Structure formats: C-alpha cells, structure tokens
Structure 1
C-alpha cells in the first residue's frame, strides 16, 4: 500500500521482515557492498543486485535492484540476513531506511538487516507512464478519484484509458514483468546472493501477499513466514472486485469505530458529538461542490482518499481526521493552514502512484472495459457509502492493462515444515480481519493472532513479542489474541 509525512503507515503498509537462515546455497547474483553515499543512508552499506528483467531468461537483459544493509550488531551470534520491504505496492524500502535504524533489539543484534526497492519502484527501474514530470503532474492534478457524479465518471473512464496508454508507451521493458511473482523471484535471487538456503519472511499489507506468493512458488525454500495485515491472496488475484467490496465494508466498519470512540472521547476528539453524522454531512456537501476554507477550495476527491488513509493510523491519523472534518464544517471561517497541512501530508508521491498502479494491474483481475466501473458503483455504495468508490476507482486503469503471463494465480497451500504466523488487527480499514481468516484457510498450515485494536499496523507488545520469538526460534505462539496498546484518543 507511500511515504506520508503525517504518519508512516498510510498505504505503504507494514514493513516486511525477512530472515534468511542456513549454510551457503548455490551461487546466485553477487552483492558488492560498499558505503552508501546518498544523504540519510551514510550509516549503511549499499549494493546493486543485477537481476534478469525476465526470469524465464536468466541470461537475458538485466536491471539493477537497489539494496541497503545494516550489519549485525553482534556478528559472533549472527543467525543470517533479515530483509525489510515496504508495502503499497509502490513504497521505497531504501527511502524507508533514511534517518532511522532498520531494526532494533535482538533482531538487529543477530541479523544483517537488508532493505531494497522492489522492481518498478524508485531506484530499481522506476515505472514511467509520462514523457515528463510536468506531464505527470498535470495528469494527476486533473485526475478524479473517486468521481462524485456522472460527468466525473465519464471523465474518469477516459483518463483511465489515457493513463494505461501512457504506461504502455513509456514503461520500458520492465512493464511486462512487474507481477508479484516476478518480485518473489527477485527475493529468491537475493536469498541466494547472501548465501543462505532457507528463508524466513515477515511481511505486512501488500508485503503479506508477496510472502504468500513466495511461499507458494518456493515452498522448499521457506523456513518460516510471519505475515501481518493480511491480503487474501485468492481474492486479490482472481476475484478482485468482490475482494474490494469486502475491503470497502471493512473501511466503513472502521469509520463507525472511529465515530464511536471519538464521541466517547469528548473534547479529546475534535469531532465528538455525533461524529458519524457530521462526517456524512460534510461528504454530502462535497459531492455537490467544493467547500471553501479560508481561501482554499477543497474538493470531494481531495478528502475521501485522504480520510481512508487517515483511518490506517489511530495515533496521528484519527485526530487529523477529526480536525479536518471540523474545519470543513466551518467553511470560510475554518483554518486554511490546518486543512492544507493535513491534505498535503497525505498526498501520494506521483512516482508511487505509477508504481502502485502498474504492479497492481499486473496482478489483479477486473472487468476489461473502464465503462464497467459506474455500473458497479451501486454495489460499492451499498457496502461503503463513503469510501467504496475510492477503493474501486483505483483499479480502473487495470481494465486497459495487458494480462501478464508471469501472474501467479494459486494454489496457496503452504507446504513448509513450520506454520506461518499471521497477525491482524480486529478493525483494519484496508486489510479487514476477514482477509486474515481466508488466508489462514487457504494456507492451511498457519496460526492467526488477532490484535484487539484499530488501524492498519497492530500496536501490541504481546504481538511484538510473539513475532520476535517466532522469527528467532520458529516457535509458533499458543495465544490467538493480543490486547492493543495504546488506544485512540488517549487521556491527556
């Protein structure tokens, strides 16, 4: 699922942790580590992995996969290599390393910690869908996602076709090789590059899907899988529309939880006092036309995707959600600076949007005509009158996307010796708990911990301890639930 300046979990999802353990395996790509020279990465070592554009032709053209490493703090007790990946798809692992430690505690002591930009992202063959940055900026400034009326629906269908044509024209040789199956093969090459034979993977959000694809494709090379904020792999890949309906219902459920807890928080929440109805009234106003706050004109398409992202994070996103709606209620008397700061912090990087769309469209299955999107609006409005269309219209360019022969479509049963460990919040706005239950059933060999909390990233010392123990020792926890900490709108 983007690097938000307001809170770190918006759409990039949860960081993926991959632990590789075992003696040296057959030779794969080489990694020549050296000091990182890019600003913010000076503490790390960097390398470029030369991997095939098409893994079906390993001796064919290659491209550079950008990789960063934090060496183990206690090399005498080193277990192996721990890979970190970010979600989206479209987030940059290299950018995520800037200005922070990649891992802490015993994981940082006992593993080299590695992160990378997935193919098609950032420094690893960034997808291009426009002839210039100016053209890219102009396109996204005029994009209407989600549309609020018939006129905007017609414009969205036209622009979806235009966007797909632009990606086909400017995407380069990688465009036909951006499935998650391709990324899983890259990950397997990296596993070989560090000289290890078995892989333990912990990935969240989209990265949970990457882990499930890897486990299905390379079961004999899996030591353990720890997956958080689950994607339903069968639904995402083969029943995309129905799975997006399920996601929409989950987002609406988290909105109701937000409103309930906001009302209970009283003055600690800026929207308390029938928060659900107040938010609905503001969105209805926006459907009829922009709301002016000070001198700032705010549109429906500015607010709805931002609100869905704010529901990811209870600590900063939920208070920002409440503040945004309260200021929009005030109209011209509202604080223009506050509204602008919130919406700007949640704006997606345009390169992220190109990567997100290209990788998503390579994996999913949707109707093959953009005009089908308005026909299904009623179903999405029924599931989620506030955010269903936002999720649905993100996939509209995929209607004009060519099918990829690399796409992995199942089966998903996990045939590793160690069960997978799955962790999911009970109230997750983008990967609902129902996805985790479906994933557990499809994997078969899996244990699920439900965190009794809200948002996209489980915040739970109980779950953190279970995750660390599992990654270090392969011990599957006996617990199936964990409390969340802290809750939204804490007392001051």
Structure 2
C-alpha cells in the first residue's frame, strides 16, 4: 500500500515491514516457510478435498452482514489455531467483501492483501481497494479481504501499552556507547516479553504458512476452485507461499513489489537498506532542484551529508514539536523513511525538513506517527506488534547479539551512508523473540502453478527491484512486469501501462509479454 493509498484511509503504515520491526525502522518482511503437519495437498486437482480433520472448517458457511460502509459486507471465518491440531482451539478471522458491480459475467473472488506483515486487509479493502481498484476489475470480481491471524480484527497480537510504545519508538537506534546499546537491547527484550505476556496463545501461530492455509480455506468457503489474488509488498511473500503450498489451486496471482524468499533476514535487511539509499538519492536529486530545498541546492551527495548532519544534531538535542513528545533522531529518521515510499510525498518531506531546520519537529513527527499508525489520541494500532510476531516466526533472526550488529554496521553503511547504522541495529529485535522461528529462507518454484505475474519497480525502496527479478525467476510460471520508476509497488499508482497489463491478466488470464517494461 503506497502513501497515496494510505492517505485515503486509516492505514498509514508502510506496507512492507521487517524482521527488524524495531525502534523506528520497519524493514523487510522476513521470508521462509516449512510445510506444516496436516497439509494434505501441495498438488493435484484444484477441487481436491481437504484432509478429513479440516472438513468442518472448509465446509463452514459465512454469515455476511452489513458493516458500516455502503455496499460492504463483513463476516467471520473460523480456522484452527494450530493446523497440527485441528480439533483443538480455533481462531476467528475477520473477512470483508464488496460484490462485483457488473456489467459482465462475474469471474469470482479476488483476495487482496496490502502487505506488512500486519497491514489490515479489511481496512485496505474498505478504504481503497473496494472503491479504488480499476472499475473493470471491480465489475467482474467480488473484492475480498481477510485480516491475517494476529492482525487487525483477527485475534490481534498485543504487546505494549501506548505510553510504552511511545518510549519504544523514541529509543536511540544509532547507539553511541555501551549504555545506549544496553538501553536499545532492553527495549527489544521488553517488547518481546510484552508480546508473550499479552498474546501467548496466538503468538506461535501467526506464521505466513498458516495465513496462506487460512486463505485456501477462505477460497473454498467462497466457492472458488482457484485463488485469484493481488498482494503488495509482504503480500507477495504470502502469495508465493500460497502457490508453494497449493500450486494447482493458483488462479490469477499478482505479486506487486516482490520479495525474494530465498534470502536470509540479514540479506533482506541489508538489501532494503540499499533500496532506501536508492530512493533517497532520487529524492535528493529532485530536492536540490528546488530553491527551498532544506538540504542544499548543490548535489544529491551534499544533500545526503546535510541530512546525516541533521540527524546527528537532533540526536544531541531533540526538537520541540508542540506535542509532549520531542523529535528524537529515531523519530526524525522514521519520518524521512516514511516519505521514501512514494514520490508524491516528497514535497511534504521537503516542508517537514525545512520546518525542522528552523527548530520545529512537528512535520517530521507527523510523518513518523503515520508510519507507526499512531492516532492523534496517542493510541496505536497493532501493526507493529503483528509485524514483529510474523517476521520473527517466519525466519531466524538477522543477528544474535549486539556484538554481531556492531560487526555488521560498516557493511550496512556501505549500502547506505545515511540510513545504514540505524537499519543494522533495527535488525536485532528478533534475537530476543520468545518463540523459535518455524520458517527458513528458500527459493519458491510452485511447480505446476498457472502463470503468476510478478511486478517490480526499479527504484522501489522497500522491495528492491532485484527481488522481483529473483522471485519471477524462481517461480516455474513466473512472469515479470517491470515499472521503471520511483516508489513502492506499481499497480494502481498512476501508470496506465502497468494497470493495463495487470487488468488484462486479471480479466483475461493473459500475462504481459516476456520482459514487459513500463515507464
């Protein structure tokens, strides 16, 4: 979900967060999955029956009801909390849909996921996809969303109270000495302990594999023999995982802003560090063309040096904001990162930086709050909590200790002189997670699946373009669509070329020609 889409509804969070979903830095969604016990099918006919112990779930009926938004309906799907024990405890998952509007024959259901992990698909549907997807697609598909387990309205993971979360987001993530390293580590430990205390039952069962299995159950309950799906950012990993588990049930899958599931958490986080550097260089090159650029008007290199100096200054003396909170270095960095997701936010970032250089941190704080999904009343949504819970379960941690991070900082700073140090330390939080990871990185080929459309943007900050190329090459039926441009994800963000190619695939089942490139 890009910044334009986030502006249309109350999910201002960045769609692709990280294994290191830490203090101010939400990085890459960690990859990796294992085939869980009780899985009855990874191939075969689309309509093959589920395992006997899952039949009551696959055979359930949804009780649709109006849910406060015109034309939208909501329901609750029941799923096993633990797929290895279907007769045990169940979990209730929030589902929403907007029916096909016509004209034209209905194709079926189109599931959508905005990323995260932790983004509410139901909010995304009600705030954007159900009204903002191209009219020809909405005419032929019921647009459907399910909040993944642990997310939004689906047994949400909880960890900290709002004041604790404020402290967490303000913690220095570029520690200058051992005392600050200890403080940062303590915050990670407290965050993990809070999740375990408040969400012990659901915490071991929010993996991407389990969510993919929930999606297959929903597919069956909706009456579709195959799954049609649009996933953005982390949603591409979710979609690829589904294709790995159920290749013969793959219908039309669009994976936009793709991840590379073969990479370790450390590799993902370093690659994303480089991705944000690429995005910042694009912003800086644009900024210096404006006479009011607060980072100077000479060169992108000079702008980067000035931003780094600004962060150092704020680290030493946080700025007032007109709020009870000051703008710390961590919040300032998060505010800048938030604007890297879409070039449409660059003017807002210029204004916020100009305001900050004049001693007022309110503009950058507002950007950081939108990133963290903090409401004006000081309350937080659960996205940060779900993000860590899913990522720390999906893949082993990027680093095991602060000393590991210290040794890697130089490598991360090579990837991004401006953001590298903070991204490296933000990759530490899963080291203290109370649940051992159940997934591991590996390529996904989904042998036997119908053509799968992978979309990559050349200067995407959060999911670097090389990840899209890697996923498309791994998938046995992967087809790559390239958007030569800025911002995170490409579908529905203003490129007629991209939208036409994706719409044709969704409506006719025909992927674009090999190596199709849009500008």
TM-score with structure 1 length normalisation? 0.86
- What's the secondary structure of 2:112's corresponding residue? strand
Quote the residue 1:112 is aligned against.
Answer: 142
Report 1:41-440 matches (<5 A). Answer: 41-74=69-102, 77-100=105-128, 102=130, 103-130=133-160, 133=161, 136-137=164-165, 139-140=167-168, 143-147=171-175, 149-235=177-263, 239-264=264-289, 266-267=290-291, 271=295, 273-274=297-298, 275-292=303-320, 297-315=326-344, 317-331=345-359, 334=360, 337-349=362-374, 350=380, 351-366=382-397, 367-402=399-434, 404=436, 406-407=438-439, 409-440=441-472
Change (3 A) 1:97 1:245: same
Tell me how far apart the structure 1 counterparts of residues 64 and 319 of structure 2 sit (CA, whole Å).
52
CA drift of 1:148 comes to: 5.4
- What's the secondary structure of 2:405's corresponding residue? helix
CA drift of 1:110 comes to: 1.0
Q: Which moved more, 1:87-96 or 1:338-347?
A: 338-347
- What's the secondary structure of 1:202's corresponding residue? strand
Q: Which moved more, 1:446-455 or 1:380-389?
A: 380-389
Tell me how far apart the structure 2 counterparts of residues 150 and 90 of structure 1 sit (CA, whole Å).
32
CA drift of 1:457 comes to: 2.6
Tell me how far apart the structure 2 counterparts of residues 355 and 2 of structure 1 sit (CA, whole Å).
19
- What's the secondary structure of 1:450's corresponding residue? strand
Tell me how far apart the structure 2 counterparts of residues 431 and 365 of structure 1 sit (CA, whole Å).
20
Quote the residue 1:19 is aligned against.
Answer: none
Tell me how far apart the structure 1 counterparts of residues 420 and 78 of structure 2 sit (CA, whole Å).
40
CA drift of 1:139 comes to: 4.7
Q: Conserved in 1, the CA contact under 8 Å of 2:336 and 2:367?
A: no
Counterpart among 453, 470, 474 of residue 505 in structure 2: 470
Q: Conserved in 1, the CA contact under 8 Å of 2:405 and 2:425?
A: yes
Structure 2 residue ranges without an equivalent (≥5): 18-44, 50-54, 375-379
Q: Which moved more, 1:120-129 or 1:366-375?
A: 366-375
CA drift of 1:383 comes to: 1.6
Q: Conserved in 2, the CA contact under 8 Å of 1:25 and 1:197?
A: no
TM-score with structure 2 length normalisation? 0.81
Change (3 A) 1:34 1:220: closer
Tell me how far apart the structure 2 counterparts of residues 96 and 416 of structure 1 sit (CA, whole Å).
31
- CA deviation vs aligned residue, 1:59-113 (integer Å, no higher than 9, x gap): 2210110000111112861111111222111111222233556134121111111
Structure 1 residue ranges without an equivalent (≥5): 15-21, 485-492
Change (3 A) 1:416 1:199: farther
- What's the secondary structure of 1:201's corresponding residue? strand
**How large is the Cα RMSD of the aligned pairs?**
2.9
Q: Which moved more, 1:95-104 or 1:278-287?
A: 95-104
Q: Which moved more, 1:205-214 or 1:215-224?
A: 215-224
- CA deviation vs aligned residue, 1:168-207 (integer Å, no higher than 9, x gap): 2221311111110111111111111112221233211000
**Number of aligned residue pairs:** 465
Change (3 A) 1:99 1:361: closer
Q: Conserved in 2, the CA contact under 8 Å of 1:181 and 1:213?
A: yes
- What's the secondary structure of 1:63's corresponding residue? strand
